[in-house]
Chains A and B, each alone.
Chain A
Amino acid sequence: MTRHAIHVGAALVPRRRSRARTRVVEGLIVVVLAGCGFFSILVTFAIIGVLLEEARAFFTMPGVSVGEFFLTTTWSPMLGAEKHFGVWPLVLGTGLVTMVSAMVSLPLGLITAVFLSEYAHPALRAAFKPALELLAGIPTVVYGFFALTVITPFLQRIDPSVENYNAASAGLAIGFMCLPIVCSLSEDALQAVPRGLREGAYALGGTRFDVALKVVVPASLSGITAAYLLAIARAIGETMIVALAAGSLAHLTLDPRQPAQTMTGYIVQIFLGDAEALGVEYRSSYAVAALLFILTFVITILGNRVMHRYREVYE
């Protein structure tokens, strides 16, 4: 390897005259690469710019006010004699679906991660990993279809009062979709705990249960928190599953057997309905999208910061 490197190096050292030219070319290349690197900042500004501009246009329309948006609880932008733009039914719908999904993905994901990290035989881990990757890689349309055609009838057999479009099926499907995320991120966090801690605990006579629950998990709490936050951000932003299975009734409910419209579900409904209008309903979807973006962005930033912090502690 080093011989190869020397050959390469020797070939790379240019003559004096073309060294200047190399510098110019290299400078250009760095500029191009920098452009690519900073492109993502452009994307972020584009997102913020477009959403805020359209949301501003929405709030300056007659009949719409920021106060009504954030403080009232009726969302009926299209029907009725008056239009109401209180966003809480959509937020609550998102919250309900996310809550159901969190009840599935967070505990199950963590325990699976503990199993893989502390208990499982390396061969079993090697078999598990690709299966989890597969679960994570399944497109969300498939989960949505699964929720609609399999989970909903299954729930209806258990409890006949579950309706054809309900929040529970969507929540469960989203939970299964987020499970691999929680699992892999938690496992990274658990693995990052130094062996010394574990070995010390074992030396003092702890069983695997003791070590796992009393030493490793508490030590990696920040990493696990990061995993939870990122999974929740993912669940909040999920569109296809709720579009297929959760229904389109925007009302205040905490009953998962009923349909519930999430923020993403509403955005899809508007964009499928009409894509060219400039009316209030159309603009309202941008306002909802802006709220959705702010929510997920904040949670993602939080999750990333927590993750950074725990990584620094151990590296």
Chain B
Amino acid sequence: MMREWLSVLACSAVGLALASPEGVCQSQTSPVSGTVKVDGSSTVFPITEAVAEEFRKTAPQIKVTVGISGTGGGFKRFTVGEIDVADASRPIRPAEHEKAVQNRIEYIELPVAFDGVSIVVHAKNTWIDSLTLDEIRRIFTDGSTVKRWNHVRPAWPDRPVRIYAPGTDSGTFDYFKEVVVGEKGAIRSDMSVSEDDNVLVRGVEGDENAIGFFGCAYYFENRNRLRAVPIDGGSGPVAPTHETIVDGSYAPFSRPLFIYVNRRSADRPDVRTFVEFYLSQAAELSEEVGYVRLPEQVYETARSVFAARKTGTHFLDDRGEKRHGRFVELYR
């Protein structure tokens, strides 16, 4: 009786091993193989997902797993060395940089695309023709008394304001907060919050009184259900389109998207191959998913930075404080 059970067990174990489609491989003579762990921003996720998918076609032996913990969540894991690549929709912050230094993690900062954070409303929302930065500030600051749309402009209807926003782990949230209320400010707390931008899209498209914000790729992907509000940053209302994001006129919400690579992981052949592939395909694939490609010279710079394994961030100075300036000037 016992013997039969044991043989059944052994057979099923063997069967399972053989049935598993990739089979059992003792990679003694196979080409580069390994696992690349990526996690972080859900804004950057569509690009990384596209790259991982295309990469699989060229190098099926290398497994790439992509998570969506949010930029903050990704950095938390990155700075303890748990993942090889962190997707980020904002540059690394001083506190995260400190943590990395403490854990002896060196990183290589690589931009991959441009994004324009789109402020969207329901497709049937006809009254919002544009929003000034000031109005945005009034709506979103913590303690805001704007509860109905006619609090913003008296001509607008008396309807409740419903907000859908990314969570605090989101780089989009950090970026938006910094632009709208500044580093020391705070955003109001009575919003529907989710790390998953898809959830936000869903929320806004189902509520005529809703307003939300997320990366422009999610807007372009759902253009028939949503309306992006033109933003008046001081020189007239500008809607987020490919052109306005590229030339920077969609201000102040145009921003670069990054990946951060662990320097020690970069020395591994599997990670190195993946990142080189990423940088070579980022222009094309980022446009395909709805973002905007960077100028070619920036990609060149990124490739040389990676090849030379230059570590550190271009956005914090030696004292660990933020540098300000145009992206193209800072990253060189």
The answer on direct contact between A and B (beta carbons under 8 Å) is yes
- Say whether B82 faces chain A, with CB atoms less than 8 Å apart: yes
The CA of A14 and the CA of B142, in the complex, are separated in Å by: 82
A-B contact count (CB 8 A): 85
Q: A79-B193, A81-B142, A277-B73 are in contact. Are A163 and B186 (CB under 8 A)?
A: no
Q: Are B77 and A251 in contact (CB under 8 A)?
A: no
Q: Which residues of B are found within 8 Å of A165, using beta-carbon distances?
A: 192, 199, 202-203, 206
Report the minimal beta-carbon distance from B148 to chain A, rounded to whole angstroms: 16
Q: What's the Cα separation between A163 and B206 when bound, in Å?
A: 6
Cβ–Cβ contact A273 & B195, under 8 A: yes
- Using a CB-CB cutoff of 8 Å, which residues 258-289 of chain A contact chain B? 259, 269, 272-277, 281
Which of A74, A79, A165, A249 has the most CB atoms of chain B within a 10 A radius of its CB? A79
Contact check: which of B80, B168, B188, B202 meets A78 at CB < 8 Å?
A: B168
The one of B142, B193, B207 in contact with A163, judged by C-beta atoms closer than 8 angstroms, is B207
The yes or no answer to A247 lying at the interface (CB within 8 A) is yes
- The interface residues of chain B lying within 8 Å CB-to-CB of A272 are 68-69, 195-196
Task: Identify the closest chain B residue to A74 (Cβ).
Answer: B189
Chain A residue nearest to B195 in the complex (CB): A273
Q: Contact check, A274 vs B188: say whether CB atoms are below 8 A apart.
A: no
Judged by DSSP, the binding face of A is: loop
CB distance from B51 to the nearest CB of A (A): 22
In angstroms, Cα B41 to Cα A274, docked, is: 11
0/1 string, A163-177, CB within 8 A of B gives 1: 111000000000000
- The answer on a CB contact under 8 Å between B193 and A248 is yes
A164 touches B72 (CB 8 A): no
Is the Cβ of B73 less than 8 Å from the Cβ of A248? Answer: no
Report if A62 contacts B (CB, 8 A).
Answer: no
B168→A79 contact, CB < 8 A: yes
Which A-chain residue is minimally distant from B209 (CB atoms)?
Answer: A163
Assembly CA distance A80 to B188 (angstroms): 5
Chain B residues, Cβ within 8 Å of A191: none
Q: Which residues of A contact B (CB under 8 A)?
A: 74, 76, 78-81, 84, 152, 156, 163-165, 247-249, 251, 259, 269, 272-277, 281
